[in-house]
Amino acid sequence: MNYIIETKMLSKQYGNKYSVKQLDLRVPVGSVYGFLGPNGAGKTTSMKMVLGLIKPTEGNVRILGKQLCEKNRITILKNTGSLIESPSYYGHLTGGENLEIVRILKNVSKSEIGNVLKIVRLEEEQHKKVKNYSLGMKQRLGLAVALIGRPKLLLLDEPTNGLDPAGIQEMRELIKSLPQKYGMTVMVSSHLLSEVDQMATNVGIIDNGELIFQDNLSLLHQQASKKIHIRTLDQVKAFEVLNQNAIKYKVEQENIVLPILAEIEVANIVSLLVENGIGITRVIEKQKSLEEIFISLTGKQVSL
């Protein structure tokens, strides 16, 4: 089993509008899978469908190698933990009592409560009623609930929402450490590119309900690698010269774009163009930011 979550043509339609369309997610075992997309892109709906909270219009979900259906849903989900949208809690009960309820339902030992409280650093607040918790503490309690029983798979929907900067950093470090420390696979959604960049090993980008990119984060970074941009006074003639000399290039915004080359190679190409009477106006080394890549993929601005 290479993928802990695998969806095939997963779709959800409300009326005439697709919230999620033909989603083929592949979350590798042991990865931190960043599920990135602008607000309203379909991240939460997708995660809810993965958990069987929403019935898909079409398509199917495989978790831990088993196809999810109503009959085996709970058995499969015993190996998962989730925090979807906002944390779920009983405000009139203490943090410890909330965890006790989940512990009983998950049928795990009592010591597990102490363990997860320690992981999320809520030990001192466990006797306080949850309605008196700050948003950050509720979020951490939500994570503790998800962690009970050391599930193999963790689905976290925007887990840093409502946290202060220190809390955000703490949460990111914690999520990053989960695969190594506890052998978990984490699928974490975010609308923040920088956040996914800091936590994830793999990334899926969703926009308007459709998956537009999915691979290693390093592959996304490759797209951000440095390029040489050349602008000339006669681009058409420049293309001809480069073609005649079998020099590979791309055209972006009327610029000739070359992969990163050795200094001498750049000098040779510039000389070649000049010798053919083409005036050079600019030779620039450019690197696309992840945000630019995201915009080029989605056509939308994202938060950084």
Partner 1 sequence: MKLLTTEIKKTRYRKIWLLLLVPLAIQGIWMLFITSHTNQAQLNMGYSNLLYFMSTMNVIIIPIVMAMLASRLCDIENKGNTLKLLYTLEEKGKVFDYKLILGSIYILGFTILQMICIKLVGGIFKFTQMLETHMWIEFIVSTFTVSVILFLIHQILSFQFKNQVACLTVGIGGTFFGLFSMFFPAPFPYFIIWGYYSILSGFRFRNVPAGVMKVYEIPYKTEALFFLAVLGIIIYLVGKKLFLRREV
User: Which of 82, 202, 208, 298 touches partner 1 by CB under 8 A?
Assistant: 82
Closer CB to partner 1, 104 or 251, in the complex? 104
Strand segments (E) across the chain: 3-14, 17-23, 26-28, 32-36, 58-63, 66-67, 80-83, 153-157, 185-190, 202-207, 210-216, 226-232, 250-252, 255-259, 280-287
The residue range among 2-10, 91-99, 228-236, 263-271 that interacts with partner 1, by the rule CB under 8 A, is 91-99
253, 292 contact by CB (below 8 A): no
Taking CB under 8 A as the criterion, the residue among 40, 65, 91, 114 binding partner 1 is 91
Residue choice 13, 22, 86, 276 for contact with partner 1 (CB under 8 A): 86
Compute the least distance from the CB of residue 78 to partner 1, in Å: 8
Q: What are the CB-based long-range contacts (under 8 Å, 24+) for 259-266?
A: 259/227, 259/228, 260/225, 260/226, 260/227, 260/228, 260/285, 261/228, 266/228
- Binding residues for partner 1, rule CB under 8 A, total 31
Are 114 and 95 within 8 A, CB to CB? Answer: no
Evaluate whether 23 touches 29 at the Cβ level (below 8 Å): no
Q: Which of 24, 85, 252, 285 binds partner 1 (CB under 8 A)?
A: 85
Asked if 135 interacts with partner 1 (CB under 8 A), we say no
Within 26-65, the residues that bind partner 1 by CB under 8 A are: 48, 51-55
Which of 77, 116, 171, 175 binds partner 1 (CB under 8 A)? It is 77
Q: Which helix (H) or strand (E) holds 266?
A: helix 263-275
Instruction: State the DSSP string of 71-117.
Output: TTHHHHHTTEEEE-SS----TTSBHHHHHHHHHHHHT--THHHHHHH
Question: Reduced to 3 states, what is the DSSP secondary structure of residue 235?
Answer: helix
265 binds partner 1 (CB under 8 A): no
Q: Which is nearer to partner 1, 96 or 204 (CB)?
A: 96
Whichever of 97 and 265 has its CB closer to partner 1, that residue is 97
Q: Are 288 and 224 in contact (CB under 8 A)?
A: yes
Identity of the residue, 101 or 274, whose beta carbon is nearer to partner 1 in the bound complex: 101
Q: Is 92 in the site for partner 1 (CB under 8 A)?
A: yes
- Residues 99 to 128 in contact with partner 1, rule: CB under 8 A: 100-102, 104-107
The residues binding partner 1 (CB under 8 A) are 48, 51-55, 73-74, 77, 80, 82, 84-93, 97, 100-102, 104-107, 130, 145
